[in-house]
Structures are given as C-alpha cells and as structure tokens.
Amino acid sequence: MGSMSNHNSDQLFIGIDGGGTKCRARLVSINEKLLGTGIGGPSNPLHGQAQTKASILQAVEMALTEAGLPNSEASNLIVGIGLAGVNLPSLFDVMNNWHHPFKQMHLTTDLHIACLGAHNRDQGAVMIAGTGSCGYSYVKNKATIIGAHGFPFGDKGSGAWMGLEAVKAVLLASDNLGPYSLLSDLIGNHLQAKGVMIVDRMGAAKASDYAQLARFVLDAADAKDEVAEKIVREGANYMSAVAEKLWETEPSRMSLIGGLSERLTPWLKPSVAASLSAPINQPEFGAIYYAKQQEKLLVC
Amino acid sequence: MGSMSNHNSDQLFIGIDGGGTKCRARLVSINEKLLGTGIGGPSNPLHGQAQTKASILQAVEMALTEAGLPNSEASNLIVGIGLAGVNLPSLFDVMNNWHHPFKQMHLTTDLHIACLGAHNRDQGAVMIAGTGSCGYSYVKNKATIIGAHGFPFGDKGSGAWMGLEAVKAVLLASDNLGPYSLLSDLIGNHLQAKGVMIVDRMGAAKASDYAQLARFVLDAADAKDEVAEKIVREGANYMSAVAEKLWETEPSRMSLIGGLSERLTPWLKPSVAASLSAPINQPEFGAIYYAKQQEKLLVC
C-alpha cells in the first residue's frame, strides 16, 4: 500500500463498479476532477473471471481514451474496484491475485463501493436491485451483508430473479398448468417465441439475459396482471425484509440503488419506502473513495 | 432408412438412454439377447453437445467391450437414441446431423423411448422425475409433452428443482430471513459449508449437481421438516397436475419413472398415485424398440 508521499499532484485515480451486466469506470484527478468515463461488459467473476478482467480493461481503456491518454497510462493509475461476487473468499483471492496492469489496485465488494458512494461517507446502508439483489450496511467498522448470493439460487427481487420467475410462469401457462396472462404476451413478443421455443431462446441464458425480462414483469404488474403482481410483490416483500434487517444495524441513511430501484420502490412496504434516502453519488465514486481511503488520502 | 432386407441374423442393435446425469447403453442381438451394457457421462445436449456425443461414445464402447467386441464394431451397429433436450428443434437438428460412427442412428426424445420401454408398446404415458421432470403421452399417433423445459426455469418436481429450492431456502435461513431447520443441517453437512460458503460450493453447479441434493430434501420432508415438506409438496402437486393432464389424452397405462419415482410417489395426490402402473422395461429397451420400428422390423 502506498503512502501520501508517493502521490504527486498529477496522480490519477480510477473508480470501477463491476456488476453482472456491465462495468463502469470513472477517471479523475487527485482533486476529483472528471477526466473520462468508460463502460465495459459483464464483470461478475462468479460468471466468468476472464470476462470480468476483459470488461475492466475495456472500461479503463475507454476512460483513458476519453481523457486523451494512451492505454499505456494504465500503469500509472491507482484503481479502486468494487466487484459483485468477491464477497466469496475464493473469488476475492482470484481477482486480488490478478496480474493487473495498474500501479495499484484496491479491490472490495460492489456493495462496499455502492455504500461509500451513496452516502459519500464511510457509514450507511444500501440495497441493490439490478441484475442481482442484496443488502449491505457498514456501521461502526462492521459490514453486514444480506443476500448477495447470486443467480439462480439467491438475488430474490432482482431483475434476473424476476426474469426467471416470469419464464417459469410463462412456461407453466404454455402447458395450461398456470394462468395465461398479459405477462405471457409481453415475454412472448419480446422473445418472439412461444412455449417450447422460449426454452430454445433461454436455454443458455445468463443472469443478465434474464434481467432483460424484468421490465416486462414490472410493466405487466403495473397493469394489474395477477401473475406478474405475484412475482413483483414476492420480490419486493423480500427487499422490504432485507431493509428491516439492515435498519437493525442502525445506519444513519439507507438507499435503494440499481437499475430497478425506481420501479421497485412503489412495491416496497410503505414504511420501508418512506425510510429511504436518495443516493448522493454513484458506486464508481465510492470506488475512488475506497482507493483514496486505502492510500491514506482520506481521514475516516 | 433401411428395410428388412438389409438385416441379417447377426445384425446388432444398441439402445441408448441419454439424460442429464448419465447415459445408458444396451447392446442386443436381433433377437434381443443381451450382449453388453455400458454407461457414459451427462448427455443432455442443452448443457453441452460435445459432452453428450462423448458420453454416448463412451457408453457404446463399454457395451462393445463387455460383449467382447472391438470398438470398430460401432460402424456395424444400428443405434436407437433417446435424448433429453431434443424436443427443442434446434437441438434435435444439431444432434441428428452428428457425423456419428454408426451404421445407422435413429434419434428421438428421452420421453419417447421411456414410454416405449415402460409399456413395451407404442401407446401409453410416462412421467419422469429424475434430474429433470416432465410428462409424455403417445396415443393414436399423437405425442403430448408437458414440461420438459429444462433447468433452471422448468423441471418442477425434479431432483435439480428440489436441490435449487433447497439451496434457496438454506441461504434465506442463513440470513435469518427464513426458518433454519433440519434441511439446513443436512445440506450444510453434505456440502461441508454454511451461509456464503454454500454459494462458493454451488457457484458453478449444473442441474446434475443440484439433483445430488434432492435426497436430503426428501429425507428432511419424510422427517416432517416444514421447509422441506413445502418444497416436496409443491413439486409433487405439480407432478400430480401433469398426470391429470396426461390422463386427459386417454393412454391405456401410465408410469412414473426416474431416480426419484419411488420417493416421490407417496407425495402425489392419492388418486394419481393409485393410477400408476409399474414400468415394464427401462428406456434403453425403448430405444431399441424405436430403432427396430424405424427399420420396419416391428409392426405397430
């Protein structure tokens, strides 16, 4: 780990937020001036370590290009990275032992950088509802993680979970073993497939592919489709229960973030919905915050 | 397709039953005398076409070896194959266009050969509850398939489905968002893991890996564990509904087959359980039946 004496005023930092669908990078000066942003592919190491590394490098290169810097500049960067999946010790070790091209890499979970970003301080709680789902609080130097188990066995309330539940319901309906509803039409139209052909389309689907279906589940639920309402309500009830567990750790603020946050909030328990604060910054800011913290550039 | 004149009395046939966990081969003379049996690895092309082909060749080679025949004899075999997954047109085409080493290959679904085997005639219905689940009837030259959608979105009541539901429940319990019960102990002991380490163990799990957990779900349900009972009952209710749909097609007989059949039967609706007949022969006999039928050696 470096110390302040290693850093001169032109030291650059990059914050990276890696999730199941994509990877975002934010390149800044030591004074947090934005120099460039980048985006890469899926970066959950649980679903592919090589892909994750490639996605990170892709996002970094794009951010450097936007800043008018050559890719070789990567070797001078101090990088903060938050990744889905690295709450698993084995995945943390694999990613942390990566022979990366950077000057320094500080790895933590996507949850941790989301929390640092949302509250712009090292204390608070977040729930994420995007491709995956989970809850996280960091209070009095203690992290609490709820969920974050990944697809297909965890991530209730997430986009991938909603998509999978929707495919199940649509297939049951196609066998006349469950109700045929608007949801079947919306999913069928999107996939341009019915019945067994849906299986054909989704046969090799990843979490991110299932998550593409979530908006149709929410559309149908908003239109009072009972099959879709049941799915969304079950997911939202889970997220409400996660929020209540997180409040037990006494964070000062809590935010719901991720691609589904706006659409899921109205389905949460009213007391939970009312208890949420808007996130201040995005997770990639939190990743920069983390890198600076680790480099002893911030006093916590 | 061959005609009777192509076959002399030393023509050999092999019947192959390919499923998600393994592949069985039965080598017989034209008079159905057993010459050898073989077993291969997973053979559901939905989860890997190269693996499926390798598993089939492995099972054939083992059967030839048991019969004291060289592997080169494969080129003289007439092969009937029933495979999971080939109810999907794209997978049927891929497997049927295989440049196989046999004299002749007749491909159909695992459901079809299971039905031919279970009833030893070209009419009847079967339900399968093993790694996967589904229902099939063949009556008046019309096939009806219910389910057979595959993991993770279909196959309710199957071993893979039970295993996945169990992992979900155990992870909810590990977050104190669901009841901790005997099921958590049995799954935890088997995996030698708790909480997030279960995710680590199951992170890359396939349907066959989840199916390994089904016996613990059934053990716990038999011991009145409420979490496990809920899973088994939901699966069994689905299979009972499948059976009722199949009876509507008016088959003369129906059988429940597959690795979970004995343990699942007591959980079925009593009227459904009472309506089932014991299967006469195994699916690999049905595959031989199918090959002979296609070669015009049987009158249906």
What confidence tens digit (pLDDT) does each residue in A68-88 have? 999 999 999 999 999 988 988
Instruction: Please spell the DSSP secondary structure of B18-55, one letter per residue.
Output: E-SS-EEEEEE-TT--EEEEEEES---GGG-HHHHHHH
H or E segment and range at residue A128: strand A124-129
Residue A28 lies in a domain: yes
Q: How far is A261 from chain B (nearest CA, A)?
A: 21
**Same-domain check for residues B184 and B245:** yes
**Same-domain check for residues A41 and A56:** yes
**Same-domain check for residues B9 and B100:** yes
pLDDT tens per residue across span A158-207: 999 999 999 999 999 999 999 999 999 999 999 999 888 898 889 889 89
**Would you say B112 and A221 are in contact if contact means Cβ atoms under 8 Å apart?**
no
**Same-domain check for residues A115 and A189:** no
> Is the CB of A177 less than 8 angstroms away from the CB of B87?
no
Q: How far is B86 from chain A (nearest CA, A)?
A: 10
Closest-CA residue to B92 (of B112, B122, B72): B112
CATH at residue A16: 3.30.420.40
Residue B263 lies in a domain: no
pLDDT tens per residue across span B118-162: 999 889 999 999 988 999 999 998 999 999 888 899 999 999 999
Residue A217 at interface with chain B, using a CB cutoff of 8 Å: no
pLDDT tens per residue across span B259-276: 899 999 999 999 999 999
Please report residues of B whose CB lies closer than 8 A to that of A147.
175
**Same-domain check for residues A260 and A288:** no
Tell me the residues of chain A between 239 and 258 that have a Cβ less than 8 Å away from chain B.
241-242, 245
Tell me the residues of chain B between 142 and 161 that have a Cβ less than 8 Å away from chain A.
145-150, 152-154, 156
Residue A27 lies in a domain: yes
Q: How far is B116 from chain A (nearest CA, A)?
A: 23
What CA–CA distance (Å, rounded) separates B9 from A18? 65
**Same-domain check for residues A113 and A179:** no
**Same-domain check for residues B168 and B215:** yes
**3-class state of residue A269 by DSSP:** coil
pLDDT reported for residue B1: 43
How buried is residue B278: exposed, middle or buried, by Cβ count under 10 Å (0-12/13-18/19+)?
exposed
Question: Does position B2 have pLDDT exceeding 60, yes or no?
Answer: no
**Same-domain check for residues A268 and A176:** yes
- Sheet with A142-147: list strands edge to edge: A142-147, A133-139, A124-129, A254-257
Q: How far is CA A225 from CA A219, A269, A281, in A?
A: 9, 20, 35
> Is the CB of A203 less than 8 angstroms away from the CB of B46?
yes
Q: How far is B167 from chain A (nearest CA, A)?
A: 6
Residue B46 at interface with chain A, using a CB cutoff of 8 Å: yes
Closest-CA residue to A128 (of A158, A152, A153, A150): A158
Size of interface A-B (CB pairs under 8 A): 77
For residues A280-288, average pLDDT: 94
**Same-domain check for residues B174 and B106:** no
- Sheet with A78-83: list strands edge to edge: A34-40, A23-28, A13-18, A78-83, A104-109
Residue A50 at interface with chain B, using a CB cutoff of 8 Å: no
Interface test with A, best of B47, B95, B175, B237 (most A CBs within 10 A): B175
Please report residues of A whose CB lies closer than 8 A to that of B153.
164, 167-168, 171, 199, 202
pLDDT tens per residue across span A41-71: 999 898 899 999 999 999 999 999 999 999 9
**Same-domain check for residues B287 and B197:** no
**Same-domain check for residues B13 and B91:** yes
* DSSP helix, strand, coil percent of chain A (3-state; round to 5): 45, 20, 35
Please report residues of B whose CB lies closer than 8 A to that of A150.
199, 203
Selecting from A154, A168, A176 the residue whose C-beta is nearest the C-beta of B199 gives A154
CA nearest A199 in B: which residue? B149
Residue A238 lies in a domain: yes
Q: How much of chain A exceeds pLDDT 70, in percent?
A: 97
> Is the CB of B153 less than 8 angstroms away from the CB of A171?
yes
For residues A104-132, average pLDDT: 93
What CA–CA distance (Å, rounded) separates A288 from B99? 55
Selecting from B88, B196, B242 the residue whose C-beta is nearest the C-beta of A203 gives B88
Other beta carbons within 10 angstroms of residue B141's beta carbon come to 8
> Is the CB of A89 less than 8 angstroms away from the CB of B200?
yes
Selecting from A87, A197, A203 the residue whose C-beta is nearest the C-beta of B150 gives A203
Question: Does position B5 have pLDDT exceeding 70, yes or no?
Answer: no
Other beta carbons within 10 angstroms of residue A48's beta carbon come to 15
Question: Does position A3 have pLDDT exceeding 60, yes or no?
Answer: no
Q: Angle at CA B209, nearest 5°, toward B207 and B211?
A: 70
Q: How confident is the model at residue B3 (pLDDT cuts 50, 70, 90)?
A: very low
Residue B202 at interface with chain A, using a CB cutoff of 8 Å: yes
What CA–CA distance (Å, rounded) separates B264 from B273? 10
**Would you say A256 and A276 are in contact if contact means Cβ atoms under 8 Å apart?**
yes
**Same-domain check for residues A248 and A198:** yes
Residue A143 lies in a domain: no
What CA–CA distance (Å, rounded) separates A1 from B65? 62
**3-class state of residue B168 by DSSP:** helix
Tell me the residues of chain B between 107 and 126 that have a Cβ less than 8 Å away from chain A.
none
Q: For residue A125, give the DSSP letter.
A: E
Q: How confident is the model at residue A148 (pLDDT cuts 50, 70, 90)?
A: confident
Tokens for A182?
Answer: 């608007």
Q: How far is B59 from chain A (nearest CA, A)?
A: 26
Measured distance between the N- and C-terminal CA atoms of chain B, rounded to whole angstroms? 17
For residues B198-215, average pLDDT: 90
Q: How much of chain A exceeds pLDDT 90, in percent?
A: 80
For residues B74-94, average pLDDT: 92
Please report residues of B whose CB lies closer than 8 A to that of A245.
175-177
Selecting from B146, B152, B245 the residue whose C-beta is nearest the C-beta of A152 gives B152
Structural domain tally of chain A?
A: 2
Residue A152 lies in a domain: no
For residues A6-18, average pLDDT: 88
Q: For residue A206, give the DSSP letter.
A: -
Largest CA distance in chain A: 70
Residue B150 lies in a domain: no
Task: Compute the mean pLDDT over every residue in chain A, rounded to the nearest whole number.
Answer: 92
Q: How much of chain B exceeds pLDDT 70, in percent?
A: 97
CA nearest A152 in B: which residue? B152
Residue A135 lies in a domain: no
User: Which residue in this structure is represented by tokens 């890719």?
Assistant: A71
Tokens for A102?
Answer: 């950077």
User: Which residues constitute the domain of residue A18?
Assistant: 4-120+280-294
Please report residues of A whose CB lies closer than 8 A to that of B167.
153
Q: How confident is the model at residue A2 (pLDDT cuts 50, 70, 90)?
A: very low
Residue A199 at interface with chain B, using a CB cutoff of 8 Å: yes
